[in-house]
A = this chain, B = another copy of it.
Amino acid sequence: MRSEIHPSGQGDRSFVENARRAQIIDCAIDAIAELGYANASLAEIARRAGISKGVISYHFAGKRELIGEIIGAILKKATAVMLPRMKAERSAAGMLRAYIETNLDFLGANPNCIHAIMKIGAATRDEADQPKTDYELAFQPAVRDLEKLLRFGQQQGEFRDFSTRVMAATIRSAIDGVAFQLEANSKLDLKAYANELVILFDLATRKAAK
């Protein structure tokens, strides 16, 4: 069930420390994905890692920092997978296709990462003490990049005139929705699903032929 995310923390941490942090982050992702955010206590995470509770406190300032690192690690990994394939495309439509396909690939390869991040998002959204959650701070850029891509397509004349905000949010939601379905049915054919989405959003975005 491990997702093997290794954030390869910033330089000033020792190899051993980075390994432990990565291990804890992995176990935390699994625990959140499988048990839900509320049930993923530090005790449970420690149990899965086969370490004592104190170790987590030793390596992370608190649960908040751990959650922040989880989001960071997942984002980093997702970006690493997606960026090269996005850059290989020239047309806006191609990039949009690549965006959808790589997202679903990542989803298929790392279901727990996505489940975890969605549960974190839902559970920590606007808690009393933090006006903007780490989750939101992390994902606003993701949607913004998508918007840029769409605007680029409109400028190129590939895409019709639509609200880039709405379209970006819809594409993002569509992909996030796949995660939920994947949770209910782990045998979902993601390749086929990606094809459907690609066609769907191609029709929804492209400029009607004269």
Interface residues of A (CB under 8 A from B): 34-39, 118-119, 121-128, 136, 162-163, 166-167, 169-170, 172-174, 176-178, 180-181, 183-184, 192-193, 196-197, 199-201, 203-204
Question: Are A38 and B38 neighbours in the complex by a CB distance under 8 Å?
Answer: yes
The residue in chain B whose Cβ has the minimal distance to the Cβ of A133 is B36
Could you give 26 example pairs across A and B, Cβ below 8 Å?
A: A34-B126, A34-B128, A35-B126, A35-B127, A35-B128, A36-B125, A36-B127, A36-B128, A37-B38, A39-B128, A118-B122, A119-B122, A121-B122, A123-B123, A125-B183, A163-B193, A163-B196, A166-B193, A167-B200, A169-B177, A170-B173, A170-B177, A170-B197, A173-B174, A173-B176, A176-B177
Question: Are A170 and B122 neighbours in the complex by a CB distance under 8 Å?
Answer: no
Beyond A121-B122, A163-B196, A196-B163, whether A38 also contacts B169 by CB under 8 A is: no
Given known contacts A126-B183, A169-B181, A170-B197, what 16 new A-B pairs fall within 8 Å (CB)? A34-B128, A35-B127, A36-B124, A37-B122, A38-B38, A38-B127, A39-B127, A118-B122, A119-B122, A125-B180, A136-B184, A162-B199, A163-B192, A172-B177, A173-B174, A201-B204
Copies in the complex: 4
The residue in chain B whose Cβ has the minimal distance to the Cβ of A132 is B184
Question: Are A178 and B167 neighbours in the complex by a CB distance under 8 Å?
Answer: no
How far is it, in angstroms, between the C-alpha of A92 and the C-alpha of B7 when the chains are bound?
49
- A178, A200, A201 — most chain B CB neighbours (10 Å): A200
Distance (Å) between the CB of A159 and the closest chain B CB?
Answer: 11
Question: Are A119 and B123 neighbours in the complex by a CB distance under 8 Å?
Answer: yes
